[in-house]
Chains A and B, each alone.
Chain A
Amino acid sequence: MRRIWSILGWGAVSAAGAWAFAVLALHRGETVSAAWLLTAALCTYAIGYRFYSRIIANRIFALDDARPTPAVRLDDGHDYVPTNKWVVFGHHFAAIAGAGPLVGPILAAQFGYLPGALWIIVGVVLGGAAQDCVILCGSMRRDGKSLGQMAREEIGPVGGWMALFGVFAIIIILTAVLAMVVVNALADSPWGVVSVGLTIPIALLMGVWMRWIRPGRVLEASLIGLVLVIASLWAGKYANDDPKLSQIFSLSRDTLAKLIIGYGFTASVLPVWLLLAPRDYLSAFIKVGTVFLLAAGIFIVMPPLLMPKLVTQFADGGPFAHGNGPVSAGTMFPFAFITIACGAISGFHALVSSGTTPKLLARESHARPIAYGSMLMESFVAVLALIAACALEPGAYFAMNSPAGKIGTDVASAAATISKWNFAITPEALQGLADEVGEKSILSRAGGAPCLAVGMARIFSNIIPGPDAMKHWYHFAIMFEALFILTTIDAGTRVGRFILQDLVGHVWKRFGNVSWQPAAWIASFVVAMSWGYFLLTGVYDKLGGIYTLWPVFGIANQVLAAIALCVGTTIIVKMGKARFAFVTIIPLLWLVVVTETAGWQKLASSDKAVNFLELARGTDAQIATLAAAPAPADPAAATALGQQLSDLRKKAFNNRVDGALCAVFMVAILVVLVDTIRECLAFLTGGRLLGSSPRAPEPQPSEAELREA
């Protein structure tokens, strides 16, 4: 009887999900309610968790609570600590969910809501959550080993080095791109600069409180921090309204970029307790709180999606899906799947799944809800972000997310250009929206943060209306996003520093000592300058920034995911479960196709907007033309020409660097893939293995055996 009810129940869930997908895909009216997107997502997640994650948990790893976890066997009260399931879930979710699931879907909304929605929902069930779960289970069975260690032991030394390189490269590019998002959100915004800037002294105060005044009183300090952060919103408004302060805190993109690079370096060398840890607490509480608030807001308001399901045609004659999108360059395939990484599948998660989390699991069965469940939750956050972006008028969306090089720098030219794309918008509407949120301009604030902030402010001010509600909610949302992006920047610089010290430590042992201050300073400087370089290239290039850098970040992240899936496949095959290796092979093949196609187009596409090398060649031609022209007699004009030439040379060089990076990523994924195939075949045919792991993982002693011992 119970079985019949179960079949009927899950049949109903499947039917509801299928119906919701059908409405989303076949709807021909003006707008469609966000309720359909939410229904499709939740039903798919339920089915994915119930049936697909069960294959990983039961059939592949045969998770068994009688088998003691590393946290139980190696409990040292520090690194290995058996921890409550929901507490680990909270740690894991806070570590994997950052700005990525918010920014990526917003940028991909330029293709319409359907491609992004399908990739987020289907990608997470078959790809992202499966990857996280396999890596967590694999690491748990190997005493909490890191992805790099597992790659070395399972695939061989080349795989290990590639994983380490992938991690370092992604940290550099990720940090640059996220810093770019903050720069674009805070440029010429005194309100935003003051409220976000004040979070630094607030974090310092919390740090001193938790270290010296009331050691370890984390909740107390966080509460004080939260109250002060809310107060900083009003301080920002005061600075915005005061003409003198407003002028002082209206910072250019260039100045902001340099300040953020300095911040990243300083945060990396300061003691963790002083800045990083308190900021981490502050951002974690605000992040979780705001995500729940956004979910509640969307469920209450159920906004209609104003963006078309598929944006296929621009008035300039070129099909939009064929690569002339203004938000990020490239065709829908493969770039929609590169633009959305976190939320569907993200290689970075493999670092979290193979780092702290496996050392905290009290029971093997907890791995399933923690890895698979929290990835589904992150995907849901991405769906919410997509809804917030698609609920805006498309004209306003494109005005906020297109670079100045595409739409101009004033509302008249932006409105004229965007209206030509079949998304009618007036200059008055664009200025009105800027006034509504208390900004001078909302144009070209690419990076998703301001767009999401406007979407969130619309939803929240519908629930709690009032005078200036839009302004306050907008700046609250900006502060919330900037806060956790800055946390990722300082944590990223620090983790990058550790990796660099570790790498150099192989050659110069003392440099590898993380407590040795000169090494810490040098490594922090190198890492901050590395991501700072990419950040500045985005700031100086009118088409640069998010338009250029986000696809590179997407490729890097997906390459890391492919490496993690290679590790996962090898683990499954070596466990003697090759018939279930489809769980990792399906997303792996998809990622290889997507990243190799994207990388190839970035190097060899005939579209000049996509191909880095074409862009560099075009810039070279511009340089040649300018250099060949007779030098102007006017000294001011000559200086301007010199500056222009210098900028163009930088641009050409930067495009070549981006192209070289794409080439390296393409090679890296192929090398690891070939090694994986070779290792798996060697295992299956009894050949020589490159990896140092045994043919099957050593069986762990049971609890009874341990007790006996």
Chain B
Amino acid sequence: MAGAIPMSIRRILGPVLGHMARCWAICRSRLREWSGDDAYERYLAEHRDHGHSLKDGHALLDRREFYRQYFDRRGKRPRCC
């Protein structure tokens, strides 16, 4: 199938598609960060890197408990008119 596409078109399309894929990956990552979809992964990474998420001897939170607390914090944010 790949052979059916002329080399010249592949040369043009390749970088364009690559660029689009990179853009998509960035957008997706920002969207996940904005929505909190990747909050637990970031929490684990933070803990791994710095260990400062464990305050007062508390154990590392599991995914379910982490998100319960995460949503609770979201609920305290004011929403404007």
Contacts and interface: CB of A to CB of B under 8 A. Distances in A.
B33 A100 contact: no
Contacts of A178: 81
A281 B55 contact: no
Interface residues of B, number: 36
Contacts of A351: 78, 80
Contacts of B76: 494-495, 498
Contacts of A83: 33
Contact of B64 (A81, A91, A215, A218): A215
Contact of B37 (A217, A277, A352): A217
A488 B78 CA distance: 8
Given A90-B34, A216-B39, A273-B71, A77 B80 contact: no
Nearest to A485: B81
A81 B47 CA distance: 13
A76 B68 CA distance: 17
Contact of A216 (B30, B31, B37): B37
Contacts of B80: 95-98, 100, 342, 346, 348-349, 351-352, 488
Nearest to A96: B80
A153 B66 CA distance: 34
Contacts of A219: 31-32, 35, 37
Contacts of B11: none
Contacts of A189: none
Contact of B73 (A78, A100, A216, A348): A78
B81 A87 contact: no
Given A87-B30, A100-B80, A491-B79, A272 B67 contact: no
A280 interface: yes
Interface in A330-385: 341-342, 346, 348-349, 351-352, 355-356
Interface string B39-81: 1101100110010110100000001101111111111111111
A255 interface: no
A280 B35 CA distance: 10
B36 interface: yes
Interface residues of A, number: 54
B79 A488 contact: yes
A373 to B, nearest CB: 16
Given A77-B46, A272-B72, A273-B72, A87 B33 contact: yes
Interface string A251-288: 00000000000000000000111001100110000000
Given A77-B47, A216-B63, A218-B35, A277 B71 contact: yes
A355 B73 CA distance: 12
A83 B29 CA distance: 12
Nearest to A175: B81
A276 B81 contact: no
A273 B68 contact: yes
Contacts, number: 123
A557 B79 contact: no
Contact of B81 (A86, A356, A488, A495): A488
A91 B33 CA distance: 10
Contacts of B37: 216-219
Interface in A196-224: 210-212, 215-219, 222
Nearest to A207: B71
Interface string A471-503: 000000000000000011001101100100000
Contacts of A346: 80-81
A99 interface: yes
B75 A272 contact: yes
B33 to A, nearest CB: 5
Contacts of B31: 219
A410 interface: no
Contacts of B78: 95, 348, 351-352, 355, 491-492, 495
A216 B77 contact: no
A273 B71 CA distance: 5
B35 A222 contact: yes
A77 B33 contact: no
A174 B81 contact: yes
B34 A356 contact: no
A215 B79 contact: no
B81 A272 contact: no
B72 A355 contact: no
Contacts of B73: 78-79
Contacts of B47: 77
A265 B75 CA distance: 14
A81 B40 CA distance: 13
A75 interface: yes
Most buried by A among B34, B55, B68, B73: B34
B75 to A, nearest CB: 3
B69 to A, nearest CB: 8
Nearest to A270: B75
B26 to A, nearest CB: 10
A216 B72 CA distance: 13
Contacts of A98: 79-81
Cβ-closest 3 pairs across A and B: A272-B75, A100-B81, A277-B71
Given A77-B52, A351-B78, 16 more contacts: A77-B43, A83-B33, A91-B34, A100-B81, A210-B67, A210-B71, A211-B68, A211-B71, A212-B64, A216-B66, A277-B71, A280-B74, A341-B81, A349-B80, A494-B76, A495-B79
Interface of A: 75-79, 81, 83-84, 86-87, 90-91, 95-100, 174, 178, 210-212, 215-219, 222, 271-273, 276-277, 280-281, 341-342, 346, 348-349, 351-352, 355-356, 487-488, 491-492, 494-495, 498, 553, 557
5 contacts: A75-B46, A76-B53, A84-B33, A87-B33, A491-B77
